[in-house]
Structure 1
């Protein structure tokens, strides 16, 4: 397989991750949001596995396996369980309209391309565009965290943001395996803590809408 084709497939998979990030922004149902996050993790798995082959970096296969098991399977199943246990309503409330959110997301993607391609002008061609795509995924994850009023939606935004960081690390010739595993387990621990906090919020306020917490603190009028 030619190097150009390997680059094209790597960029296609990275672009697919950006596309699925937009699907996350568009979702207005909790179960659909969690299922889309599972798809996000599957695309990340494929992208990292392809980077492992293209770079000749076998340790990235372990990163891909961790993403497949924990991000695409364990965490989505746990989120579905949390939604059922908490009895959360299925609709997601947004702080900003969907149309404006999508337009903002497109602006962030354009900004990522302009900034990263200029900053990495002398970098490896494979790494340049993948880093630009990864930055776009990170910014879209941040946008999701800002625009979602539901705590579950904000958790998914945080985890999609972390997927962007993994994509960046894989595209930039990877990082030490011990660091990748540490990051993966740190995210898993963070997810467990977030799950416990969600249960406590539900018990205390009978909702996971972060707007209710603002009302309780007197920060909303």
Structure 2
């Protein structure tokens, strides 16, 4: 593998981490969905590059699935859900953005330390991709626990799945049947989440998890 090939793969995988930080920083729902779509585009480019590097043609299918479903269909669907429910457009956080970003930096550093040690004997490109993939997964978890709005928590969940796809492709690819099943599972989950959000909004007039916690406390 020549240096340019490695550098391009490194930039694309690192771009996913950068976009994850952009998502953590964002405090507007529509902008958050647009950034998630950008993350899906970067993911599809990264997977397509891995397909070319590995000579694994089935990974091109993964790249196309990520582009169509995650960069187009899911963001558009969530945009419509937000408009339909009249959800508050600002993303409310549990802690400040500054603390969240610092925690994110710490998680990325932890990911690098863990994966580079665990995969010491692996291919250099796979090691880097797995490190970046774990970073994306942990940043997705961080988004889920630091956001109060259910839609932003859904975006964090899907960002975690993006990290898992990057890990799968970096580890010399996943079987095509697994990739297709994951794509359809995410699509089905989107429909379920949409119905769930409609029901919550209809019952409580909000999708703020803090308000739902207060309601549960009042019932107890």
- Length, aligned pairs only: 219
- Give the structure 2 partner of residue 5 of structure 1: 4
CA offsets per residue over residues 164-201 of structure 1, 9 Å max, x none? 00000011100110011111111111111011100000
Match of 1:126 in 2: 125
Q: Which residue of 2 aligns with 1:38?
A: 37
SS at match of 2:94: coil
User: Is 1:153 aligned to 2:169, yes or no?
Assistant: no
> Equivalent residue for 2:141?
142
Using the alignment, how far apart are the partners of 1:47 and 1:19 within structure 2?
14
User: Are 1:178 and 2:177 counterparts?
Assistant: yes
Q: Distance in 2 between matches of 1:219 and 1:29?
A: 30
Equivalent position SS for 2:121:
coil
What are the within-5 Å matches in structure 2 for residues 63-212 of structure 1? 63-212=62-211
What is the aligned partner in structure 2 of residue 24 from structure 1? 23
Residue in structure 1 matched with residue 49 of structure 2 by the alignment: 50
Shift of 1:90: 1.2
Q: TM-score, normalised by structure 2?
A: 0.98
Residue 47 of structure 1: CA displacement? 0.3
Q: CA deviation at 1:3?
A: 2.1
What secondary structure, in the 3-state scheme, does the structure 2 residue paired with 1:218 have?
Answer: helix
**What's the CA shift string for 1:11-53, capped at 9, x where partnerless?**
1100000000000000000100000000010000100000000
Secondary structure in 1 matching 2:24: helix
Distance (whole Å) between structure 2 residues aligned to residue 112 and residue 167 of structure 1: 14
Give the Cα separation in 1 of the matches to 2:26 and 2:194: 21
What's the CA shift string for 1:45-90, capped at 9, x where partnerless?
A: 1000000001100000000000000000000000100010001121
Whole-Å separation in 1 of the counterparts to 2:140 and 2:114? 18
Give TM-score, length-normalised by structure 1: 0.97
